[in-house]
Amino acid sequence: MHFRQWKRREALTLLGGAVAWPLAARAQQPERMRRIGVLSTFGESDPVYHDGMGVFRNELAKLGWIEGRNLRTDYSGAGDDASKLSANATELVGLMPDTIFAIGPSRLAALQRTTSSVPIVFTGVPDPIAGGFVASLMRPGGNITGFALSELAIGAKRVELLKQLAPSVTRVAFIADPSHPVQAKMFAETEAAALPLGVRVSAVPVRDPAEIGAALDAFAREPNGGLIAYASPSVITHRDKIISLAAHHSLPAVYSFRYFVTEGGLSYYGVSIVEQFRGAASYVDRILRGAKPGDLPIQFADKFELVINLKTAKSLGLDPPISLLARTDEVIE
């Protein structure tokens, strides 16, 4: 081999190595760590949070976001105290996350008051326009988007379900937290749907166990009563108390989430939390990859679930009609 040919080959080899080395070095560098915050209605020990966040994390992992490798999650938990909630929202925003996952309208409201720049993906909000969170469903604008539970008309379906389960019901206690952003609108929808059915609806504001006990004890003094429990934070936090009092006073009840029924409540009509968490993960992924929340349309649940606890029905002396059981998604015996 001539010296000139050898030098040329040597130069090409060296040049190729010089090009390959930076590429290999870049490939070996750790991935950029992205940060998300979670502000939740549920405490970390709550089985609902555990199940929902399990789906959320698994879905993110499928999309390439692995906790500890390229993703860090900062969690701020439940609590009904308004000042603490505001402090939790401020703390999360102060960590400068790439996006925040807000579970429930009171959490979303706290974040909305705290930041107009950090992207927020929500779940568990009944009607984001009525709640004042977004201006449009197709193009929310601003920094907020997410997955809504349902439109306000779902209140009518719950009244109808209660009458089918317990035809003798003529009085309904609408249990909710008065500080809840859309509680008043949901109550109005429920009341309007109840009137043609001969049912009178009373708002029962609850914030703590003592208030819940006093309110339901007073309501149960008159006959033909039933309950509709709206999924506000205080109702979720104290669901054991509400379920127990409903059983004690023989009050048929319709709840807003499935886990109320698996824990002993009579019935549930609503959307799957698990599907909401799965959808939220897809939007978090898109935002981490550069999408703007204001360009991502609000999505309403398109599948509703009906669950009835037959054991509880029997304890209340109720015999759900076959026609109702035939369209029930799940019967707990």
**Which structural domains are found in the chain, ordered by start?**
34-150+272-300 (3.40.50.2300), 154-270+305-332 (3.40.50.2300)
Euclidean distance between the first and the last CA atom of the chain, given in angstroms as a whole number: 88
Q: Which residues pair with 267 in a beta bridge?
A: 254, 308
- Cα→Cα distances 208→80, 142, 303, Å: 9, 34, 32
DSSP 289-318: TT--GGGSPPEE----EEEEEHHHHHHTT-
pLDDT tens-digit readout, 80-98: 566 788 899 999 999 999 9
Q: Is the pLDDT of residue 21 over 70?
A: no
At 318 the three-state DSSP class reads: coil
Distance, in Å, from the CA atom of 238 to the CA atom of 85, rounded to the nearest integer, reads: 17
pLDDT tens-digit readout, 32-82: 899 999 998 776 667 677 778 899 999 999 999 999 999 999 998 655 566
Q: What is the mean pLDDT of residues 263-290?
A: 93
